[in-house]
Structures are given as structure tokens and as C-alpha cells.
Structure 1
Amino acid sequence: MSLVSPAATQALADWLERQKALKGASDNTIEAYRRDVLGFLSFMTMHKGDSQWLGALARVSTSDMRAWMAATRGPDLGPRSLARKLSAVKSFYRWLAEREGFEPTAVLAARSPKFQKKLPRPLAEDAAREMLDRVECQAREPWIAARDTAVVTLLYGLGLRISEALSLTGADAPLPDVLRIRGKGGKERVVPVLPAARRAVDEYLALSPYEKEQKAPLFRGARGGTLNPRAIQKVMEQARMQLGLPASATPHAMRHSFATHLLNSGGDLRAIQELLGHASLSTTQAYTAVDTARLLEVYDATHPKAARGRKAG
């Protein structure tokens, strides 16, 4: 039996539906929100010793928030995860307060725990090329080796997330000059396709024992079903150990590498933002591990005032 009142449960369901309908949140994001807010509501019920109807939720105090954060934080939950939970609770409360007409200051004023943001760790250009070569050597069956190489080539050559690469269907092949990718939150972006990526996919399809079907997954598992992301993760684990690369050399690191290497070659930050499908430029800056010197260099070379300053000097 749920500790949370029917009214609070329904409010949570309504908020989640709004997140999905208006903000395009993915199923995984919606499930994470549901767990985080439901955990908060359950704690408040136990903490106050009574079922938390909407009126009681409006009276959550600063000390109640401190108690929840202290109880939630522990050896198995670091500050980053607690900050994510608090963000979900605040978002829910903003919506609930507007709907029910109460002041959510105590919840919204709760300070998020400080944590060191982890910068992505891209591979060096030679390491990325070696990874592609080594991935091809892992499988005994040629078609599986070609499949794995094609997937990793899409991660590095197009900057795709592994989920995006594995969501491609037979209708997407042969790869066109530009590929429409539906990313997080249902946001669509257009990504140019490199000839090397197209060739890798063509080679895989030529060797695959399974017929290409318009609505079936482009990349098949050994038995013909949908390819599990774990298969690509595992083959990259094997390759990185053979190459002596760190544990950070994951499928997602290939996407980091795509962005970083583009930037190092003079790519425009805004263009890279579009290619990655980021809503915020600040996300792209972290993704590509942009350092201050590089940003100042771009600023000095492109900003009108900086240019005028050089002429004046």
C-alpha cells in the first residue's frame, strides 16, 4: 500500500504528463522524475507521521527539507545524485504551487549540494583511430566485426549517442548525405554523414546474414533482434584494455571525441552545439572540455570589439 495520498499521487501523475507532453521528456527521464519525487513524498509522510495531502505539502518547512536531504544523502548517494533529486522536487513544487496557489519558498530555497562537475574525457585523435581499428578485430564473425565498427564509426564520425545509433532502422540505409536524428526529449537535429561512416554501414550490410527491413533495426544482434548497447560497450572494453586506454574510453567518449576534435580543428562552437543537439551552449562547452585559453582565442578572433581593438592598436 502506498504511503502517499491519492491526491498527491494524482498531482505527481499530472505533473509527469505535463513534462512529457510539453517538454518532450524521454521515458527514462520521466521514470527518474517519478522515483525522485515519489521518494520525497514518501519521506515526508513518514517524517510527519501522516499522509501528505496537498494542504500538508504546502506546509513543508525549511527544517523538513533539511531532514529529507540529510536522510537521502548517504554512502550510496553522492552530492550529484542528491542535486538531481532536489532539482526534480523543485520542478514539481513550482508547478504544484502555481496550480494550488501556495508559496513554495521553503522548498525552492533549499540549497543544492556542491559537487565537482566531471568534465568529459575525450580520446586523443590517434587513440580514437586506434579504437576503431581495434574494435574491428574483436569478433570472430566478419559481419559482427563490421557491425561493431559501423556503430563506433557513427559515434565518432557523427557524434551520435549510442541510443541514437541503435535506433536507426533499415529505412535509414544506405545513409544519406544528411541524417535526421531524434535525440533527447524528442528534439530533432540534422547531422552530415561522412563518407567513412556511409562505407562502414554499407560494409556491414553487405556481410550481414539478415535482410534489411524498412522498419526493423539497422543494427542486429547475433540472433537477428535489436542490438543491445551492452554489446558495443563490451567490445570497446576489450579494445581499450588491449590498447592500454583508461576506463573512460567508452562509447560516449567517442561522442566527446567527435566534438573535441572538431573544435580543435577550428569548428564553430555554435555549429558543434547543433550537431550534438544541445539546448544550451554551456553544455557544449563542458562536453568538449573547452579551456579558457581556447575560448579567449575564439573571442579575440571573432568578436567585433576585439577586432576593433586590434585595429586601433
Structure 2
Amino acid sequence: MNQPSLGKPISPTADMWHRLRRNKSAMFGLIVIAVIIVAAIMTEFAVSYSTVIETNPAQRLLSPSASHPFGTDDMGRDILVRVLYGARYSLAFGIICTILSVVFGSILGAVSAFFGGKVDAVITFILDAVICIPGILLSLSLVAVLGVGFQNLIIAITISSIPSFARIVRSIVLSVVGQDYIEAARAIGVSNARTIFVHALPNAIGLIIVNASMNVAGLIMAAAGLSFIGMGIQPPDPEWGAMLSNALKYMRTYPHIVVFPGLAIVLTAVSFNLLGDGLSEALDPRMKE
């Protein structure tokens, strides 16, 4: 008599992806992000940088048309090309700053919770001191000290974002640091570094992923805001915030110059937030059927 075959166990990653795919909002966000990334990469190869910044007074302030779907700006430059080219800066800011914030924040939070005592007190004091300052104000102050530029903007935004991840990781590691498997690892002589990063920190991975996705959206907005007030990427580089700042004086007469960079910022930020919400539900064990 044939025995019924048991289904192959589903891995946690496959299970998470299965539940994420059923979330239409999250998939919309993921698709939009993928399209923006692919379009930005293709634009890099299809259009030279000189074309992006080259002025053409004869075609300035043209309305959207077949030849210029987003119209042209006050310098006669194609807005669609500049928006797609500018996606590199905005995505780079959001993703690079988030990765750096996750790395340094995870290290600080895990070390603080694992060792406790004076180490925890010092790190917590520093994190609390940083987090009590509004992120945009701290970033603005750091850029004012370091100077404007791509690298300095990344440093400033990263520093302002580290405390949030450090506090998340610290709370998770604190909840497991007294567990039997952590004590067993210590008892058999496993190094502190291995205990932290192999046994304790993985418990925070799910929450880190969710917050990282949402953090990208906030950092894209922050970078655009700093460029908007002249403290970020400088013209003629096509950064979305800088494009908005330059277009404000034409907002009433030529609104398309403002609308499309603004839509790019909003659409990208909303997409990352939708993806973050979807990941939160997909990684929540209470949502499992």
C-alpha cells in the first residue's frame, strides 16, 4: 500500500516571499522600485552625462510632448532624462546610508546589550544624545561643518540614522542575552564576537529588514530636502531635490518643471514604505496561516 508523500518543508525565506507576493501593495512598491532602478541603469548607458547637463536655450521651458515626455527645464534640458539620471543620487543616498546605518547601528546596539554595565551606559547615553536632535537638523549641522558634497551628505545622514537601528538591535539582543543557548555558547568558550554576531544578532534580522526598507524612504526625502535648500548635491547635477529648488520660480507658469521631480520623490518614498509594510506582515509569525 502506498504511503502518502509528505510535502517538502518550506524554508523561512520561501515562506516569507510567498506571503509577500500575496500583498498587492507591497508588490506594487517592489515593482515600482525595480522599474526605477532598471530605468536609471539604462539611462546611464543610453545618455552621456554631458547631455544631461548641457544647456539648450532654444528648447527651454517646453511643455510635455512626444519628443520631451516631461518637457524641458529653464536651461532646455530634457526633464525625463534628468529625473531618471537623478534617480542614481536619490537611490544611492537612501540605500548606501541605510546599509551603513544598519551595520554601525547593529554593532553598537548588539555590543551595548551583550556587555551591559558601563559599556551599555556609555553607548546608550551617546545614542540618546544623538537621537534627541531632529534628524534633519543634525544632518544640516553636519553638512555645514563638513561641507556640501555627495560623500559628506552620506556621512551626515548616516550619523543621524544610526541611533534608530542601534536601539532596535539593543532591545532584541537584550531579550535573548540571558537565554540558555547564549549562556551555553559562553560556557564552552565561544568568543564574544561570535556569540554576538552568530547567535544573538540574527534574532533582529527580520525587524532590521523591515525598518531598513522604510528607512530608505525617509533618507531619500532627507537628501532631497538638503539638496532643496542648497546643502546637498549642487546644480547642474540632476538630483531631485535640487531640481525642485531650481524649478520653484516657474511653479505657476510652467508647473511641469516642479511636478515630475516631485512625483519621483513621492513615488519612490511611498514605494519603499509599501514594501516595508509588506515585509513587516510577511515576517510577522502571527500572520502565518
TM-score normalized by the length of structure 2: 0.25
Higher helix share: 2
Larger relative contact order (Cα-Cα within 8 Å, sequence gap ≥ 6): 2
TM-score normalized by the length of structure 1: 0.24
